[in-house]
Structure 1
Amino acid sequence: MKLGRLNHIGVVTPSIEASIAFWRDTMGAEVIREPFDLPAQGVRVCFVDTPLGAAGGSGGPQIELIEPLGEASPIHGFLAKNPAGGQHHLCFEVPDIHAAKAWFEGQGKKVLGEPRIGAHGTLIFFVHPKDMGGVLTEIMETPKDAH
């Protein structure tokens, strides 16, 4: 397996609306997608586009803003420990999610659950931070219409 494209950086927030204002007003983000709920994962998400490389333009990695949908949300505990929110995970693309899962497991890495549909509508899974240099890592199958 090879390292794929960095798709997004997940950032947990207590308020997507406040985070949108920060990314727009402080960071100068020009493209902020409409927030939407993912009830199956217990979260509300919003993607902020970043420019691609030094030449600018869109197409760079996104910032995924993640807000819990109630106390049962899996990120509720993260906010309890980090009330202001913060970086939650990195997400890398792979061409074949099932091959990637088998590869990580073959390396002795702890895969957290089975592949499931993520916020981009493609299959994802997470690898435990203890096996990834301290960083929760999301592995995402490259969207068929991407790049």
Structure 2
Amino acid sequence: MKLGRLNHIGIATPSLEASIAYYRDVMGATHIHEPFDMPSNGVKVCFVDTPGENGTNGTQIELIEPLGADSPIHGFLAKNPAGGQHHMCYEVPDIHAARAEFEAMGKKVLGETRIGAHGTLIFFLHPKDMNGVLTEIMETPKPGAAH
């Protein structure tokens, strides 16, 4: 598997509003997207753009807050009440080929391949197989994708 572009770092938070204020007021973020609900994933999401080279966008920060009682983020926040790094997300050109390759390597894929917050297919790999980091693999978004 060839390492793809680091698309975003997921940060779980008990308060999206407080985290947005932190990135705006303390970290100086100038481009914060509108928060939106993802009921299918049990989260409310807000992307924060970081600057890249030559005026391009860099890696995004994905702020995620639990949405509803069944949110998978509740367990993370129970262990980390202040929030924190939840996952790292890398892009791949072909999600199905990537999943097959990780499975062939014996890496544990968590759940089904599904649509993620960028509107493209994703899956997660178990931290015990990924050097201790919950890892999201996403198909590279098409140009002009929403987030």
Query: TM-score under structure 1 normalisation?
Result: 0.95
Query: Match for residue 97 of structure 1?
Result: 95
Query: Match for residue 83 of structure 1?
Result: 81
Is 1:141 the counterpart of 2:139? The answer is: yes
Partners of 1:97 and 1:50 in 2: CA distance = 25
- Give ranges in structure 1 of 5+ residues lacking alignment: none
Aligned residues: 145
| Runs of 4+ with deviation above 3 angstroms | none
Is 1:44 the counterpart of 2:44? The answer is: yes
Residue 126 of structure 2: which of 125, 128, 131 is its match? 128
Query: TM-score under structure 2 normalisation?
Result: 0.95
Instruction: State the Cα RMSD in Å.
Output: 1.3
- Give ranges in structure 2 of 5+ residues lacking alignment: none
Q: Give the letter for the 1:114 counterpart.
A: E
Residue 116 of structure 1: which of 99, 114, 117 is its match? 114
Is 1:27 the counterpart of 2:27? The answer is: yes
Residue 62 of structure 1: which of 60, 63, 73 is its match? 60
Report sequence identity in percent.
Answer: 77
Q: Give the letter for the 2:84 counterpart.
A: G
Q: Give the letter for the 1:46 counterpart.
A: C
Q: Give the letter for the 2:30 counterpart.
A: E
Q: 1:100-135: CA deviations, max 9, x gaps?
A: 000000100001112100000000000000000000
